[in-house]
Amino acid sequence: MLKPEQVDREVLETVPFAYAGRRSVVDIIFPEFTSVCPWTGLPDFGELRISYVPRETCVELKSLKYYLNSYRNVGIIQEDVVNQILDDLVALINPVSMTVTGNFNPRGGIKTQVSASYPHE
């Protein structure tokens, strides 16, 4: 099992946003997110939603797919997944705003949904 600091951030790339200054909302849905419970080693499955208003750049989607897939063997709690992805993407593209939501499948009879936003209120 990998540690959260072993997530592959280097794979992330940007593309120019041709409509800088225009409020456009980009919604990305990743329905097959997988990470690992750090205590049991069992897989966590869920859907990630990333919604943001770009400033000058957007995240390149193939690189985002590779980045999100790099969580597959990472032992990390669900709350940390959402906040780490938010922090990494905000640092990469400096959006006007961004919300990351993890809608995780039930585990042990409990379903979890976690959201984190930028700018922080």
Residue ranges making up the domain that contains 81 = 4-118
Q: How many domains does the chain have?
A: 1
> What pLDDT shows up at residue 121?
63
| Residue 17 reports pLDDT greater than 70 | yes
Backbone angles phi, psi at 65, to 5 degrees: -60, -45
87: left (phi over 0), alpha (psi -120 to 50) or beta: alpha
Q: What CATH number is given to the structural domain containing 36?
A: 3.30.1130.10
Query: Rounded mean pLDDT of 1-22?
Result: 95
Catalytic residue among 37, 80, 87, 88: 37
Please, what is the average pLDDT of the chain?
96
| Residue 81 reports pLDDT greater than 90 | yes
Query: Active site includes 80?
Result: no
Query: Active site includes 88?
Result: no
Residue-wise pLDDT for 18-69, tens only, equals 999 899 999 999 999 999 999 999 999 999 999 999 999 999 999 999 999 9
